[in-house]
Structure 1
Amino acid sequence: MAGLGRDLDLGPGRRSAIAVAAMGVFVFLGGCGAGKAPVMPAVVEAPVKVARCVLKFRDTRLGNAARARLSRDLATYVRGRPGRIVYAAHDLVTGIRLGLGEHEHDMITASGAKVDILAALLSRRDSRLDAGERDLAARMIRESDNSAADALWSRVGGGGAMSDFYARIGLTETTPGPSQYWGGTNTSPADRLRLLKVLIRGGKGGLTPADRGMVLGLMERVQQDQAWGVSAAARPGDRVALKNGWTPRPFIHNTWAVTSYGRIAGPERDLLLSVQTDQQPGEGTGIQTIEGIARMIGTRLHHLTPTTTRPCPTNPIP
């Protein structure tokens, strides 16, 4: 039996294991010395995310192709509908224009002329309408009241005064109806858009911002049963200001003339649209045609200005 003082022959493997264990004890005990704070691990920061730089461009090629398809589809739709149909569209945000027969000016606008009457009256009166005239104006635009239109047409000065007004504001394709027949006013889709631009932007004609706001405000609040037409181009949440016209044409094969024009405004869009029809077999057919055109333009307008993205240059020129 070996004595206590005898060296043990542990072999090289056993000696290495004992040395490592002893070192571990030494390190552990060294970290527990009195008065010393424990060593805290270093904080590792999360990597910073760098935003990817991209440039956005309008894709002209794709936009032109989409425009060609839309124009072709609109033409096909119009050919398949009865009567005569013309329209004009202009988006003030993108500059996109569309049209078919937009300068034809021998189509009556019917009640669409009521906006003209109010604008001309405000221009002549320097915005000073009395309470009775303001009531007539509201009934004429919002309810399309014909008696109110008769009264204000007379106060404007009839067809002669209306011709002067059209000349001042640049409506070269609009002719007032004869005598007291304001509903026989002939106009073009292009002139309807010119009128809308005067109401939106001002210019010649003597209409103040308050005048223009009054007319557009009434057009935004037409009765619900008269809110059909170009409003079909609106997306949820868009604001619509419009005026419609409709009248039987007993001397033209018992057909109808149906018209609608207005402004559809919302995010990234300020669309002016006018659609005029005549020789329609009925009022409902004319409305369907107008709304078919408006809906096609409204739902596909954003396809006409597609964009593409590219990464920013890595070595910008100083």
Structure 2
Amino acid sequence: MPHAKTPTKSATGRRRRFALAGAGVLLASATALVSSGPLPAIPAAAVTAASRDAAVPPGSAAPVVPLNKARVTAAVLDLDGTGLRPTLYGDDTPYDTASIIKVDILAALLLQAQDAGRPLDATQGTLARAMIEHSDNAAANALWRQIGLAPGLEAANKRLGLTSTKGGPGFLWGLTRTTASDQIRLLRAVFGPGPTALDKTSRSAIRTLMTHIADDQSWGVSAAGSGWALKNGWLERTATGLWDINSIGQVTMNGHRYLVAVLSDGNTSMNDGISLVERTARTAVSAASAR
């Protein structure tokens, strides 16, 4: 699936940047979790500008007001609270996933490896890292095939507790349909304290990769707190020129950990969509924190 056009980058204070030394240590930890041995380095040619998702958020704490025909839905779950169900903001209707589906693809791949009683092999580990950290589409294509396309994804999701996610047709993984509440179910299987089909090593692998998103992609739900782990997705629709902009992950605010999923579509530009998603995430998490 071709990537959307990349907007012009602008320097913002909110963009997270890792010191090189620290990043090296953390990446070593991530690779150790994904397979039993160290992962080979990703060749530079394997993560090209054409195969990356990249965006820089504009930002303000303005009220959540979608532009034109854009729509947005958020779901928030306080992992350190007493509630077991997420709080929803907006209608919990299906949206196309774009690249947030890559977390679900990795979860399915890890479940299959667990069933076979083995870790991911070196090639799978390299593809997983490229797919999550750099949102590499070629890596996602390869792993989508390996999990068995939509049927493989849906079989894994049944075990993970998802109820409203339908895999994209054929090789179009980005056209998978999902809801904000289903994305919270996925995140809970990764970050939550309760029992899950994913074992401890698999959960740690996904968590670690989601904390090492490329600097130019550290927008979205990360605007709502600190200590974030996330995955974003974006897609310009060829028929309308409008944008799907989505973001899922975990953030910390006031000492509590929150799972956050914000899905939107109908945005007139990528930057408008990012701004909407970030404002929505901040508003939803702040409201949950005040409860």
Q: How big is each residue's C-alpha offset from its partner over 1:43-92, in whole Å with a ceiling of 9 and x where there is no partner?
A: xxxxxxxxxxxxxxxxxxxxxxxxxxxxxxx9x73466641111111112
How many angstroms apart in 1 are the aligned matches of 2:261 and 2:135?
A: 18
Give the structure 1 partner of residue 256 of structure 2. 269
How many angstroms apart in 2 are the aligned matches of 1:121 and 1:146?
A: 16
How many angstroms apart in 1 are the aligned matches of 2:150 and 2:191?
A: 24
How many angstroms apart in 2 are the aligned matches of 1:102 and 1:268?
A: 28
What amino acid sits opposite 1:290 in the alignment? Answer: V
How many angstroms apart in 2 are the aligned matches of 1:116 and 1:79?
A: 27
Give the structure 1 partner of residue 217 of structure 2. 226
Secondary structure in 2 aligned to 1:149?
helix
Change (3 A) 1:176 1:258: same
Query: What is the aligned-residue RMSD (CA, Å)?
Result: 2.0
How many angstroms apart in 2 are the aligned matches of 1:240 and 1:260?
A: 12
Q: How does 1:156-235 map to 2 (within 5 A)?
A: 156-201=147-192, 203-205=195-197, 207-234=198-225
State the identity as a percent.
36
Per the TM alignment, residue 94 of structure 1 is displaced from its structure 2 partner at its CA by 2.3
Work out whether 1:290 is the aligned partner of 2:281: no
Question: TM-score with structure 2 length normalisation?
Answer: 0.72
Select which of 105, 117, 123 maps to 2:105. Answer: 117
How many angstroms apart in 1 are the aligned matches of 2:161 and 2:267?
A: 30
Secondary structure in 1 aligned to 2:106?
helix
Count how many residue pairs are aligned between Structure 1 and Structure 2. 224
Q: How does 1:1-318 map to 2 (within 5 A)?
A: 77-78=64-65, 82-95=69-82, 97-101=86-90, 103-105=92-94, 107-126=95-114, 127-201=118-192, 203-205=195-197, 207-234=198-225, 238-251=226-239, 253-265=240-252, 268-299=255-286, 301-304=288-291
Secondary structure in 1 aligned to 2:259?
strand
Secondary structure in 1 aligned to 2:103?
helix
How many angstroms apart in 1 are the aligned matches of 2:67 and 2:267?
A: 13
How many angstroms apart in 2 are the aligned matches of 1:157 and 1:88?
A: 29
How many angstroms apart in 2 are the aligned matches of 1:145 and 1:98?
A: 31
Contact 1:102 1:190 in 2 (8 A): no
Change (3 A) 1:124 1:282: same
Contact 1:169 1:203 in 2 (8 A): no
How many angstroms apart in 1 are the aligned matches of 2:124 and 2:189?
A: 22
Contact 1:246 1:258 in 2 (8 A): yes
How many angstroms apart in 2 are the aligned matches of 1:95 and 1:244?
A: 28
Contact 2:67 2:267 in 1 (8 A): no
Per the TM alignment, residue 98 of structure 1 is displaced from its structure 2 partner at its CA by 2.8
Structure 2: runs of 5+ lacking an equivalent: 1-60
Change (3 A) 1:283 1:143: same
Per the TM alignment, residue 241 of structure 1 is displaced from its structure 2 partner at its CA by 0.7
Contact 2:97 2:177 in 1 (8 A): yes
Give the structure 2 partner of residue 12 of structure 1. none
What amino acid sits opposite 2:255 in the alignment? Answer: E
Structure 1: runs of 5+ lacking an equivalent: 1-73, 305-318
What amino acid sits opposite 1:260 in the alignment? Answer: S
How many angstroms apart in 1 are the aligned matches of 2:215 and 2:151?
A: 33
What amino acid sits opposite 2:208 in the alignment? Answer: G
Per the TM alignment, residue 267 of structure 1 is displaced from its structure 2 partner at its CA by 5.3
- Return the structure number with greater relative CO, CA threshold 8 A, min gap 6: 2
